[in-house]
Amino acid sequence: MSQLFWEILGWLGYLQRGAVIAQLLLIAGLIMGWQLIKPQQALKNLHPSLRLLVAPISMLLIAWLIELPGGKTGLVSYAGLSWLGWNLLTLLNQLLLPIIPESSVHQLESRLLRPIYIAVVGVNLISQFDNPDDLGVIKLGSLFGETLTINNLITALIVSYLLLVGTKLPAAGMAWMLQKLLNCSNSSRKALNLIIRYLVVGIGITAVGFHIGLNSTALVAIAGGLSVGLGFGIKEVFSNFISGIWLLFEGSVRPGEILMVDEDPCEVRKLGLRATLLWRVRDNAELLIPNQMFFTDQAISYTATDSLRRSEILIGAAYHHDPHVVIRLLETTARTVPRVLHQPSPKAFQVQYGDSAIEYSLRYWIADPMTNMGVVSEVNQAIWTAFKREGIEIPFPQRVNTIREVPPIRTETGAADSPPGSPH
């Protein structure tokens, strides 16, 4: 480790060279000038793809013009080429959007292409100061009795990252082929996708361990440490992981399903290994529910077998109205609301005799559980209009406060004090 420190410290010696300092100042000045001048307004008539190339090409031209009189512009040229490559990745992103979903393009760009590009640019930049092969053999220490070098560490990190990021599409393709062969459901295909992916990741990381020199004893020790961690620190994470795979196989919670969470309808957007992502329609909020909650708590689903949902409205009518007329009017009114289904047909019932009204229940069916609140509002407005047209009174509880004078209390002394001539 100390050898690596002295190697990095030696790179600082390049900053003492005047040509290097001048190039760094020139690069900083060009970037700041581009941000301050903001030539995008002058280039607004240019195609957006070409606008991305103006800045890096300008830097390359400036480096070429300075180099003609004999100046050194290696770092400036390298910065311009790096900037140009970075913007070309943006153009590649725009080319992939018509043929690949936007979310997949974003993941490919942010998790694979740009990290690889940064790593390549960094290695090439280090090669300007030092020999990467000499750096790779520097010893960082020992791991389970095996010597760990920079080459081993970087190789392990890169391969592990590529396994975690790059196995998504191959695992999805293999799961799709197994679905066609086994004729299984979409939820089972997603479960197979995750199992294949993490099986490949596990085998790959084990192979990386052998590559850097770890023997079977060291791997058993690591596995033992992980098992202890499962029992203490990450027990909940492992429980959610197993619950997620089980839910995918079982198919009881699927993307697109409508669940009731705290009396609010929520749509399942994504079933992950740790948590399930739900979308709540009333406030456009996204909820993350741990997977094990679906095994320990009760969950109501409106789309397990079909998406129909029955809704109910309670309303009262005055006692002097015929209940048969009110029930018939409620059912007819519900049928006039566009989003209320005619099959099953709306039904109204006389529920009970209340203090100030006869109470009725109107029950009807809708196709989309997420629109229940809006349909309830439409039905209530239709009932109000129908009752007003037909003269149906909707009474409300009233209280009448009557003040009564308390009579005087008769006592023996009161009788003795009665006026003369009064009977005793």
pLDDT band at 210 (very low <50, low <70, confident <90, very high): confident
Query: Residue 6, exposed/middle/buried by CB under 10 A (0-12, 13-18, 19+)?
Result: exposed
Q: What average pLDDT does range 67-93 have in this prediction?
A: 76
Picking from 291, 243, 287, 241, the residue whose alpha carbon sits closest to that of residue 267 is 287
Cα gap 104→27, rounded to integer Å: 34
Element of type H or E holding 352: strand 347-353
Phi, psi of 408, rounded to the nearest 5 degrees: -65, 150
The contacts found for 71-79 with CB under 8 angstroms, 24 or more apart, are: 71/19, 72/19, 72/23, 73/23, 73/26, 74/23, 74/128, 75/20, 75/23, 75/24, 75/27, 75/128, 76/23, 76/26, 76/27, 76/30, 78/124, 78/125, 78/128, 79/27
User: 129-138, 234-243, 253-262 — which one is most confidently predicted on average?
Assistant: 253-262
Q: Which CATH number fits domain 309-390: 3.40.50.300, 3.30.70.100, 3.30.470.20, 3.40.190.10?
A: 3.30.70.100
CA 298: distance to chain centroid? 23
Cα gap 22→16, rounded to integer Å: 11
pLDDT at 43 > cutoff 60? yes
pLDDT greater at residue 303 or residue 280:
280
What is the predicted pLDDT for the residue at 245?
72
User: Are 269 and 277 within 8 A, CB to CB?
Assistant: yes
Q: Where are the domains of the chain?
A: 1-136, 137-233, 252-301, 309-390
* CA distances in angstroms from 272 to 218, 226, 248, 399, listed in the order given: 31, 22, 9, 56
User: 92-96, 140-144, 250-254, 299-303 — which one is most confidently predicted on average?
Assistant: 92-96
Cα gap 188→175, rounded to integer Å: 9
pLDDT at 278 > cutoff 70? yes
pLDDT band at 347 (very low <50, low <70, confident <90, very high): very high
Phi, psi of 223, rounded to the nearest 5 degrees: -65, -40
252-301 and 309-390 have identical folds: no
Residue-wise pLDDT for 247-274, tens only, equals 776 666 777 777 877 777 888 887 776 7
Q: Coil, helix or strand for 341?
A: coil
CATH top class, domain 252-301: mainly beta
User: Are 341 and 365 within 8 A, CB to CB?
Assistant: yes
User: Are 159 and 36 within 8 A, CB to CB?
Assistant: no
The whole-model pTM stands at 0.52
CB atoms within 10 A of CB 385: 12
